[in-house]
Amino acid sequence: MSHAYTGGCACRAIRYEIAAEPIESNDCQCRQCQHQSGTGHSSYLSFVGAPVTIEGKASTWDVVGEGGTVKRCAFCPTCGSPVYLTFPDIPDLFIIRAGSLDDPSRYKPEMVFWHSVAQPWDHVPPETRKYEKLPPR
């Protein structure tokens, strides 16, 4: 690993540090992500079993994905920035939103989920792997 992934919300009330490399980086074009981001997709880095340090208190709300998985969305109660996701049924999984990184240039999308409901104006680089829904696991 080159160095920890750090970031947080826009007002810096929430900060995180992850001392590991992500297992994957993806964009998601599902309708939930469109609503949450206010645009055509959300961008994520996923970590499994990584040491995570969080400073500050996030507010959360739960949403259920198509497969029935509960996603706990964490955001700053002061500035409203969405910062990370956790999963009550998958405690080792920690997902950060790429826009919350101190250095967002570290984000390199490897794949796109839910391309079947993409907005026609939300373009994806042709070389990026695209999945109509979720990739097979």
CATH code (residue 36)? 2.170.150.70
Is residue 127 situated within a structural domain?
Answer: no
Per the domain annotation, does 64 fall within a domain? yes
Do the bridges between strand 93-97 and strand 82-86 make them parallel or antiparallel, or are there none, so unpaired? antiparallel
- φ/ψ of 116, rounded to 5, equals -65, -20
Residue 93 included in any domain: yes
- The count of domains in the chain is 1
Q: In this structure, is residue 126 part of a structural domain? A: no
pLDDT at 30: 94
Residue 128 included in any domain: no
* Structural domain contains residue 47: yes
Q: How many residues does the chain have?
A: 137
Give residue 76's domain range: 5-120
**What are the 10-residue block averages of pLDDT along the chain, 137 residues in total?**
89 98 96 94 97 98 89 98 96 97 96 96 92 88
Q: Is residue 66 domain-resident?
A: yes
CA distance 105 to 88: 29
User: Is the residue at 26 inside a domain?
Assistant: yes
Q: What is the pLDDT of residue 91?
A: 96
At residue 28, the pLDDT reads 96
The one-character DSSP state at 117 is: G
pTM over 0.85: yes
Question: Is the distance from CB of 68 to CB of 76 less than 8 angstroms?
Answer: no
